[in-house]
Amino acid sequence: MLQIRSLSKTYANGVHALDAVTLDIPRGMFGLLGPNGAGKSSLMRTLSTLQEADSGSVTLEIPGEAPIDVLRDKDAVRRRLGYLPQDFGVYPKVSALDLLEHFAVLKGITHKGQRREVVDGLLQQVNLWDARKRKLGTYSGGMRQRFGIAQALLGDPRLVIVDEPTAGLDPEERNRFLNLLAAIGENVAVILSTHIVEDVTDLCPTMAIMNKGQVLLTGKPSDAIDALQHQVWRKQVDPSALAGYEANHVVLSTRLVGGRPVIHVHSASDPGDGFQAVAPDLEDVYFQRLRLQSRAA
In a shared domain, residues 82 and 122: yes
pLDDT over threshold 70, residue 84: yes
In a shared domain, residues 149 and 210: yes
pLDDT over threshold 80, residue 167: no
- Residue 297: pLDDT band (50, 70, 90) is low
Across the chain, mean pLDDT equals 91
Containing domain of residue 283, as a range?
A: 226-296
In a shared domain, residues 75 and 125: yes
Give which of 88, 70, 87 is closest to 79, Cα–Cα: 70
Per-residue pLDDT of 244-261, as tens digits, reads 999 999 999 999 988 889
Non-local (6+) Cβ contacts of 77 within 8 A are: 48, 49, 60, 68, 70, 159
In a shared domain, residues 64 and 48: yes
Q: What is the pLDDT of residue 171?
A: 85
Q: What is the pLDDT of residue 94?
A: 94
- Residue 266: pLDDT band (50, 70, 90) is very high
In a shared domain, residues 71 and 169: yes
In a shared domain, residues 209 and 116: yes
In a shared domain, residues 52 and 151: yes
Mean pLDDT of 153-181: 85
pLDDT over threshold 90, residue 36: no
Per-residue pLDDT of 270-296, as tens digits, reads 999 899 999 999 999 999 999 989 887
Q: What is the pLDDT of residue 159?
A: 92
- Residue 62: pLDDT band (50, 70, 90) is confident
- Please count the CA atoms within 13 angstroms of the CA of 146 that sit on its side-chain side: 29
Q: What is the pLDDT of residue 53?
A: 95
Last residue of a domain, one of 200, 220, 240: 220
User: What are the backbone angles phi and psi of residue 263, rounded to the nearest 5°?
Assistant: -110, 145
In a shared domain, residues 22 and 64: yes
pLDDT over threshold 70, residue 135: yes
Of 93-102, 195-204, 211-220, 264-273, the least confident: 195-204
In a shared domain, residues 41 and 79: yes
In a shared domain, residues 259 and 147: no
b/e code 230-242 from CB counts within 10 Å (16+ = b):
ebbbbbebeeeee
Last residue of a domain, one of 204, 220, 236: 220
Which letter does DSSP use for residue 131 in this model?
Answer: G
Q: What is the CATH number of the domain that holds 161?
A: 3.40.50.300
In a shared domain, residues 98 and 146: yes
In a shared domain, residues 242 and 122: no
What is the rounded end-to-end Cα distance, in angstroms, of the chain? 32
Last residue of a domain, one of 170, 205, 220: 220
How many domains, in total, are found in the chain? 2
- Residue 195: pLDDT band (50, 70, 90) is confident
Mean pLDDT of 11-23: 94
